[in-house]
């Protein structure tokens, strides 16, 4: 399993928040769209890391 997935989730969510701030401060519509897209990608990656962590928690008792 991946080590420290909760740290990875936090990092991804922080990057998503940064992308949201950049989207709100962007003046060009294409820049806003780019940063909103980046935000959603970081959120999806955080969700993926979280899912890996939950699957690991489920499988851990079965491997003992």
Supply the pTM of this predicted model: 0.76
Residue pair 57/9 in contact (Cβ under 8 Å)? The answer is no
- Domains of the chain, by residue range, sit at 5-56
CA distance 37 to 5: 23
Q: Cα 52 vs. chain centroid, distance in angstroms?
A: 12
Two structure tokens written together for 53: 């962590």
pLDDT, tens digit (0-9, with 9 covering 90-100), for 5-50:
788 999 999 999 999 999 999 999 999 999 999 999 999 999 998 8
- H helices of 1-64, in order, are 5-25, 29-59
For 59, the 3-state DSSP assignment is helix
């Amino acid at each position: 399993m991946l080590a420290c997935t909760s740290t990875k989730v936090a990092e991804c969510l922080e990057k998503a928040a940064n992308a949201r701030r950049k989207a709100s401060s962007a003046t060009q519509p294409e820049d806003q769209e780019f940063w909103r897209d980046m935000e959603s990608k970081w959120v999806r990656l955080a969700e993926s890391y979280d899912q890996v962590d939950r699957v690991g928690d489920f499988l851990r008792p079965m491997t003992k």
